[in-house]
A and B are shown apart, each in its own frame.
Chain A
Amino acid sequence: MRVFLNENVIEVVPGTSLFQLRDQYRPDADLVIFNGFPLKEDRPLAADDRVVLIRRGEQPSAAEMEALLMARHTPGVHEKVRGACVGIAGAGGLGSAVAIALARIGVGRLVVADFDLVEPSNLNRQQYFIDQIGLPKVEALQHNLARINPYVQVEIFFGRLTPDNSAIVFAEVDVLVEAFDLPDQKAMLVEAFLGSASAAPLVAASGLAGHGPANTVVTRRAGSRLYLVGDGCSAAGPGAGLMAPRVGVAAHHQANAVLRLLLGEEPE
């Protein structure tokens, strides 16, 4: 009889009970989740039941994490995502959220660049914690990503990206995400990367400030290797602050565009 144990398919003898399964595979588990519900009483298993055995505080191994992601993703998706390298230029409101989304789906390697430190004013939208104020953003983000999925390789570049170093820092990426704040820096990165030897596409963002409708934030193709996320016009400034919801909408448009590009699909 086939059942799922911690997302892996296993064969058990018909008539096996939940606790017999636990005692056989992980007797030290202190949490038994049966078809999505934690159970305290034993019960018989039926074909295709899903059982998750957890020992509190214990991290899944790389193989278990892999099985977990494979089970959650459509077949064929996980292999492509795991083999990918994605660059993120800027670790602010956009970059930190993009990085977390990509780490959660198990992108194999992330290269994150930023020169800034975590400031109190960042916490209204950026994926940092109050006890990380003063740390370099790239270090704080690397730490946070490791708490989500320690099997994602995160390389950090703590410094300013320039026309000279951008293409070098991101030489090996399959897709680059532009997640800067200032418009001239956004244009600089697009010019430096799309003018470099890399053939990788770039997903940039423009127009995501304020609390206008989320539905005006779109993903569109804006060049042969350039994709643009945003409403194109909502600049950050007095009266139009950057806020977690809309910045998050744009960041996840970017992350989804990256995913689609990695899978060979057109983001638009």
Chain B
Amino acid sequence: MKITVNGKSRELAAGTTVQALLATLQMDADRVAAEHNGSIVPKNRFADTILAEGDSLELVQFVGGG
């Protein structure tokens, strides 16, 4: 299936969760803010949020400093 991640089209296996995608992208879930089809996904829902064909995902992995 195809979904859009940070504006770019990406091919994923059906049933991929946000958490699985973060692992594939080698992103640290604790430092990530995720928006799924325009809604924020709480960290405790990363594991059970299943992505579907045509979904749009915005992922921001923060680095320290402020």
Chain A residues engaging chain B, CB cutoff 8 angstroms: 90, 92-95, 179-184, 186-187, 190-191, 194-195, 204-209, 222-224, 226, 228, 230, 232-237, 242, 247
Contact = CB atoms under 8 A, between A and B. Distances in A.
Nearest to B60: A222
Interface residues of B, number: 18
B55 to A, nearest CB: 14
Secondary structure class of chain B's binding surface, majority of residues = mixed
Nearest to B63: A235
A238 to B, nearest CB: 12
A20 B51 CA distance: 76
B62 A204 contact: yes
Contacts, number: 91
Contact of B66 (A181, A194, A232): A181
Interface of B: 30-33, 35, 38-40, 42-43, 58, 60-66
B3 to A, nearest CB: 16
Contacts of B61: 183, 206
Contact of A195 (B30, B42, B60, B62): B42
